Amino acid sequence: MEKVIVLPGDGIGPEIMDETLRILDWILERDSDLEIETEEYDVGGASIDKFDTPLRSEVLEAALKSSAILLGAVGGPRWDDLPVNHRPEQALLKLRKECGLYANLRPARVYPALVDSSPLKNERASGADLLIVRELTGGLYFSLPRGIEGAGENRRGYNTLSYSREEVKRITEVAVDAARQRSGRLTSVDKANVLESSKLWREVVVDTVPSDIELNHMYVDNAAMQLVLEPRQFDVIVTGNMFGDILSDIASQISGSIGLLASASLGDSKLGMYEPVHGSAPDIAGSGNANPLAMILSLAMAFRYSLDAPDWANKIEAAVNRVIETGKRTADLAGEGEDFLSTREIGDAVLDELAE
Ligand code: NAD
Ligand code: IPM
Ligand code: MN
């Protein structure tokens, strides 16, 4: 029996998770070969409210023993005044670190039927299809020392950005594998003109990438610009934790909405965490209008990378494709004055397409 840990979280997290679990249940009812059971826990703000901690040790232990973790989103204004190490976001960071999930795959592409939903002009966005491979357990998010100290005019906050050879090598290897399965092109994004950690990054990337891969390097400021100027030049992008965080939100707008962007966080074992790129969207939580597709597509990635069921991954992705092609839209994708469907109605539409 494989275990899937379900962590709905905060804000729109539970809303998009509901739709995703309806799809998972539908699949489990129909495929007797799949031996999967789910266990649901509070994380993030929901866990702080009940247990005074964003991630209980029993939740982490259950996650470590599972095959896959599905996470909705965490965080919200209610918890914004807490110190950094008590915030809801710590749940995510701790799960990533403790589970050894150093490789975050964030695909972004333009669905032909949605080219008008992208703020980019059609001729720039059309056909774009890229994958950001973000280093997830190192860099600026985790390096020591870090802290905030002192008082008054002397108060100071600091973080450290460091990467070891091994950390860069293993994420580069993941990106190389991904590039081989795609068009064989890889762009490494760094800030090697200023940062020593990036100079090391570039050295290791050069040493690690074999000659069958077409490799280029780009500074992160230029990469941000190129993503909106000519997104089709990219296939696989490999980059550090902080740069990958920022570039993936930019990339979401190529596809039209961050509500479409799924992700998989992987390590050296089968265990993976699957979560949308977006957050808990406090501004729309409770409206019933969140786009559940990023979460649903994250479930597809779980079937592909952790649950040995690539056929279900393909079926979910095909169903989402048809929902989009048939013109169904949540509010984030609808144009000015256009009709849109609720979170639940889009969930229904995906289920209908799966049943076809
Ligand atoms: P956000 O991604 O939550 O929202 C940014 C904008 O995108 C908002 O206007 C929101 O309404 C919209 N949006 C996001 N997801 C959407 C969806 N599925 N459908 C429709 N619209 C969607 O980013 P933020 O506002 O900067 O952060 C809000 C909270 O979420 C913060 O506490 C932040 O730390 C947290 N956060 C959590 C995660 C995560 O859990 N993985 C990721 C990012 C941010
Ligand atoms: C993301 C989020 C997280 C990150 C936050 C919530 C810790 O923005 O998954 O992109 O910065 O990694
Ligand atoms: Mn982010």
How much distance in Å is there from the Cα of 279 to the middle of ligand 1? 3
Span 12-29, pLDDT tens digits: 999 999 999 999 999 999
Whether residue 42 lies in the annotated active site: no
Q: Write the Ramachandran bin of 164: left for phi over 0, alpha for psi from -120 to 50, otherwise beta.
A: beta
Query: Choosing from 191, 274, 305, 328, which is the catalytic residue?
Result: 191
Q: What percent of the chain has pLDDT over 90?
A: 98
Does 132 contact ligand 2 (Cβ within 6 A)?
Answer: no
pLDDT in tens, 181-223: 999 999 999 999 999 999 999 999 999 999 999 999 999 999 9
Q: What are the boundaries of each domain within the chain? A: 1-102+267-356, 105-260
CATH 2.60.40.10 fits 105-260, yes or no: no
Average per-residue pLDDT for the chain? 97
Give dist(CA 142, CA 75) in Å, integer: 19
Contact 280, 76 (CB under 8 A): yes
pLDDT band at 114 (very low <50, low <70, confident <90, very high): very high
Let me know: does 91 contact 294? Beta carbons within 8 Å: no
Handedness of CA 177, 181, 186, 191 (dihedral sign): negative
- Known catalytic residue: 245? yes
Q: 108 to each of 130, 158, 231, 248, 263, how far by Cα in Å? A: 5, 32, 10, 8, 10
Q: Is the CB of 277 under 6 A from ligand 2?
A: yes
Ligand number, closest to the Cα atom of 106: 2
Same fold, 1-102+267-356 and 105-260: yes
Residue owning the nearest CA to atom 43 of ligand 1? 279
Ligand 2 lined by 10 (C-beta under 6 Å) = no
- Note the ligand closest to the C-alpha atom of 90: 2
92 lines ligand 2 (CB under 6 A): yes
Q: How far apart are CA 130 and CA 244, in angstroms?
A: 13
Question: What pLDDT digit, counting tens, does each position of 121-141 carry?
Answer: 999 999 999 999 999 999 999
> Per residue in 310-349, pLDDT tens?
999 999 999 999 999 999 999 999 988 999 999 999 999 9
63, pLDDT greater than 90: yes
Candidate list 207, 221, 268, 339, residue with the active-site label: 221
1-102+267-356 has CATH 3.40.718.10 classification? yes
**What percentage of the chain exceeds 70 in pLDDT?**
100
Check if 219 is active-site: no
For residue 263, give the DSSP letter. -
Centre of ligand 1 from the C-alpha of residue 87, in Å: 15
CB atoms within 10 A of CB 23: 22
